[in-house]
Amino acid sequence: MIEIKDLHKSYKMGSNSLHVLKGINFKVEDGELVAIMGSSGSGKSTLLNILGMLDGADSGEYTLDGVPIKNLSETKAAQYRNKFLGFIFQSFNLINYKSALENVALPLYYQKVPRKERQEKAMQYLEKVGLKPWAHHLPSELSGGQKQRVAIARAMAAEPKVLLADEPTGALDSKTSYEVMDLIQQINDEGNTILVVTHEEDIAHMCKRIVHLKDGVIVEDKKIEQVRAGQYV
């Protein structure tokens, strides 16, 4: 599903440049649930942003579902993001003046799905994350966990090939974190490919594979026995 080869990325800051990713090689198969770990500043977010086509790499190859991702125009990148990827952010990033339902329907709007169909589909996904009764509430009326579940529904709504989550539980307490992880596991159980950046060991162990980043390279990449989040909920 995802294949990257010898990926490099550095940030230029004035005259110096900070080499963040120093040759990453990495492959993710269909249906995997991968945790990306590493200390702060190790380049986890940078990697995820490149995978999400929000940022470009300096060199190296990136193939997503057989499509080479290189030198994309902003328009093309937006279309690919819409079609291939779902984003889940640490700070939820819901649009504050839109209801939960409208937020979930937004990616479908950019796919030019007709309004009625969009609403129905968005409602299905809200139901899936257990928030159907909250459909017409504004984000400000939801708890952190609920917001993140709306964000997950929104990421799912366009039926992307890969879900990218950058510290999805970073802003949540442990109980709510497990609820969110439970949801992510369920989605993964249905065959969706998911990458989760996290700091927390327990969250990482709810995935099926852990990739460790250090100083811009992968230092460890291992398959693990998945801990089900459901038992803590």
Partner 1 sequence: MWLFDRDLWIEIFHTLGKNMFRTFLTMLGVIFAMVILVLLLGSANGMSNGFNKIFAGTASNSLFVWGQSTSEPYKGFERGRRIRYKIEDAEILKKQIPEIEVLAPRIELGSHRSVVSVYRNGQTSGSAVYGDYPEIDEITKKKLVEGRFLNQTDIEHSKKVCVIGEETYKLLFDKGENAIGQDIRINGVYFAVVGIYKPNNNINIDGENAVFIPFTTFQKAFNSGDRMGWMAIAVESKTPVPFVEKQIKDILKHKYDIHPDDDRAIGSFDMSEIFNNITSFTMVLQGFSFFVGIFTLLAGVIAISNILLITVKERTKEIGVRRALGATPKIVKRQIVVEAIVLTAFAGLVGFAISVGILAIMNSMWGSGDDFPFANPMISIPQFVISFVLMVGLSVLIGLLPANRAVKVRPIEALREE
Ligand X SMILES: Nc1ncnc2c1ncn2[C@@H]1O[C@H](COP(=O)(O)OP(=O)(O)OP(=O)(O)O)[C@@H](O)[C@H]1O
Residues engaged in binding ligand X (CB under 6 A)? 11, 13, 18, 20, 38, 40-46
Nearest CA to 88 out of 28, 12, 36, 152 is that of 152
Instruction: Closer to partner 1 by CB, 95 or 224: give it.
Output: 95
The answer to the question of residue 89 lying near partner 1 (CB under 8 A) is: yes
Residue 1, classed as helix, strand or coil, is: coil
> What is d(CA 188, CA 86) in angstroms, rounded to the nearest whole number?
13
How many other β-carbons are positioned within 10 Å of the β-carbon of residue 15? 5
Residue 115's binding partner, choosing from partner 1, ligand X, Mg ion, none, with beta-carbon cut-off 5 to 8 A by kind?
partner 1
Let me know: does 31 contact 2? Beta carbons within 8 Å. no
Let me know: does 161 contact 1? Beta carbons within 8 Å. yes
> What is d(CA 37, CA 44) in angstroms, rounded to the nearest whole number?
7
Among 42, 45, 103, 148, binds Mg ion (CB under 5 A): 45
Residue 25's binding partner, choosing from ligand X, partner 1, Mg ion, none, with beta-carbon cut-off 5 to 8 A by kind?
none
DSSP string of 28-41, one letter each residue: E-TT-EEEEEE-TT
The answer to the question of residue 70 lying near partner 1 (CB under 8 A) is: no
Shortest Å distance, C-beta 118 to partner 1: 9
Residues touching Mg ion: how many (CB under 5 A)? 1
Binding site for Mg ion (CB under 5 A): 45
Binding site for partner 1 (CB under 8 A): 49, 52, 54-55, 74-75, 78-79, 81-83, 87, 89, 93, 95, 97, 106-107, 109-111, 115, 154, 158
